Chains A and B, each alone.
Chain A
């Protein structure tokens, strides 16, 4: 059973609207959750993180929310831009260990 789940394989959003990508986890012992973005033919690039002691972290158009009681986190992108079209992975980090979700493909339509 997957430890980190991203139940939506794909998501389409109109340019300028909000994109919400979701992630659920089972392991409560983590230090950080991370979001990575991956374009085709490139490796993933780090986008934003959230510490286990926080419930929100914001960086420009990107905000990550953590709900520990529900074991759920979400990435909000506002406003969405066509250049945001990519696969987004959430990943759990504890110590030197990283566990990635299967990814969600976001398409931002012009």
Chain B
């Protein structure tokens, strides 16, 4: 069974704090993704990575950065948290090659509140 775990289920941070969200997968997947989910907007891609130390911007990368030092781990960093980054953050992973790459496995999510 594929497992994608996220370091926290709930997180409350203050405006201006640096925030780290960690994601670990155990299926040796090449691809890893960070999304945020907001009501009425669905899942929006922040960043993804297809290999160690590689990263690609998604649709909404502003205010975020990522780090992938090991294949199984993908971190999302909010350098200076703002209230508009209050959201549900979802990590996902998948294989690189077709036909399996379209099937993403998601973690349970981290609900981040910035006050």
Contacts and interface: CB of A to CB of B under 8 A. Distances in A.
Interface string A83-96: 00000010101001
Interface of A is mostly: strand
Contacts of B90: 43-44
Given A49-B103, A96-B101, A101 B92 contact: no
Contacts, number: 57
Interface residues of B, number: 27
Contact-size category for A: 20 to 34
Contacts of B102: 31-32, 34, 49, 93
B104 A46 contact: yes
Contacts of A42: 108-109
B92 A43 contact: yes
A41 B42 contact: no
